[in-house]
Amino acid sequence: MINVTSKNGNKISYYLVDTIKNSAPAIIIINENFEINHWIKIAIDDFAEQGYVAITPDLTHNVKTRLATEPITKANLIKKLGSEEYTDYEAAIVDLASIIAEVKALPNCNGKVGIVGFSSGATLAYLSAARLHVDAVIGYYGAGILEYLNEGKNINCPLLLHMSAHDSRLKPNSLNKIQAALIGKGNISIYTYIAGHSFANSHDPKSYLPDAASLAHGRTIKTLDTLDK
């Protein structure tokens, strides 16, 4: 684990796999709930095998921040910690900007950075496309994107979104709103899968759909391969 201090003073740890001999793009992978777990480390290893410098940061302090301001009630305690309502994206985007600067300075990074996010990580990835200097962004089932559709006009890098047709975190017609707001820009692609939330997570047997996950991963690699290796 490597540590970096962000501009807002947060101490951030990140997991790095860098096995390449030549310079290559760096891929920052942001997990759902912003955590580093066994599954995300497997994903990191997979991207490294594809020839990228691969990194995943621990941003869980941004999930806990807003939770700490909520009244301590039984209802709040049983809510899932990683739900969108408890994610402080404004603080997280500052942390991510610091990580991007750190990653671009790595000896084997060629200066190009792609972001891949899952769930709340996808929402943060989307915001990075709108607000930060990144070269490609991929988001998986980012339900929170709905709250930031007005920022889509600021996205100029390639953006690929993998959305779930049966996402329990999206209200009826929300997916249509996301598509209507973003489809039409030549740099944005949205694919919808007959699946639920977390369909790409092989460690979530209730949600994982191998065929959909494989199709989405192939599209992800194709987008990232537009970056120079």
Range list of H helices, 55-168: 61-68, 74-78, 89-104, 120-131
Kind of pairing, strands 109-118 and 136-140?
A: parallel
Residue 35 is classified by DSSP as -
Q: How many residues does the chain have?
A: 229
For the domain made up of 2-224, give the CATH fold. Rossmann fold (3.40.50)
Distance CA 204, CA 179 (A): 27
| pTM to 2 decimal places | 0.89
Task: Look at residue 51 in the predicted model and tell me its pLDDT.
Answer: 92
Task: Look at residue 145 in the predicted model and tell me its pLDDT.
Answer: 97
What's the angle, vertex CA 194, arms to CA 212 and CA 171, rounded to 5?
125
For the stretch 166-222, pLDDT in tens is: 999 998 899 999 999 999 989 999 999 999 999 999 999 999 999 999 999 999 999
Domain ranges of the chain: 2-224
Task: Look at residue 10 in the predicted model and tell me its pLDDT.
Answer: 79
Distance CA 176, CA 64 (A): 30
For the stretch 37-74, pLDDT in tens is: 999 999 999 999 999 999 999 998 888 544 445 444 44
